[in-house]
Chain A
Amino acid sequence: MSAINLPGIWAIYRAEMARTRRTVLQSVATPVLTTVLYFIVFGTAIGSRMHQVGGVNYGAFIVPGLIMLALLTQGISNASIGIYFPKFTRTIFEVLSAPISGIEVVVAYVGAAATKAVMIGLIILVTATFFVPVRIMHPGWMLAFLVLTALTFSLFGFLIGIWANSFEQLAIVPSLIVTPLTFLGGAFYSIDMLPQPWRTVSLFNPVVYLVSGFRWSFYGVGDVSLAVSLIFVLGFMALCLAVLSWMFRTGYRLKP
Chain B
Amino acid sequence: MSPVLSISAATKTYKTGHTALHAIDLAVEKGEIFALLGPNGAGKTTLISIICGLVSLTSGRITVAGHDIVTGYRAARGMIGLVPQEISLDIFATVENTVQFSRGLFGKTPAPAYIEQLLRDLSLWEKRGARVNELSGGMKRRVMIAKALSHEPDILFLDEPTAGVDVNLRRDMWDLVRRLRQKGVTVILTTHYLEEAEEMADRVGVIDRGRLVLVEETAALMRKMGKRRLSITMQQKLTEIPPALAAWPLRLEADGERLVYEFDANAPETGMPHLLRELAAAGIDYRDLETGRSSLEDIFVGLVENGV
Contacts and interface: CB of A to CB of B under 8 A. Distances in A.
Interface of A: 1-2, 5-8, 10-12, 14-15, 18-19, 22, 86, 89-91, 93-101, 251, 255-256
A174 B98 CA distance: 30
A255 B58 CA distance: 12
B104 to A, nearest CB: 3
Contacts of A18: 93, 97
Most chain A Cβ neighbours within 10 Å, of B73, B102, B107, B147? B107
A95 B105 contact: yes
On chain B, which size bracket covers the interface?
Answer: 35 or more
Interface of B: 14-15, 52-56, 73-78, 80, 82, 84, 86, 88-93, 97, 100-109, 147
B77 A99 contact: yes
B54 A7 contact: no
Nearest to A7: B104
Contact of B105 (A12, A90, A101): A12
A91 B54 contact: no
A255 B55 contact: yes
A221 B93 CA distance: 47
Contacts of B82: 93, 97
A225 to B, nearest CB: 44
Contact of A98 (B15, B90, B106): B106
A7 B108 contact: yes
Contacts of B105: 7-8, 11-12, 94-95, 98, 100
Most chain A Cβ neighbours within 10 Å, of B89, B105, B106? B105
Given A99-B73, A99-B78, 19 more contacts: A1-B74, A5-B74, A7-B103, A7-B105, A15-B93, A15-B97, A18-B93, A22-B92, A89-B89, A93-B54, A96-B54, A97-B52, A97-B54, A97-B82, A98-B105, A98-B107, A99-B107, A256-B14, A256-B15
B101 to A, nearest CB: 5
B93 A90 contact: no
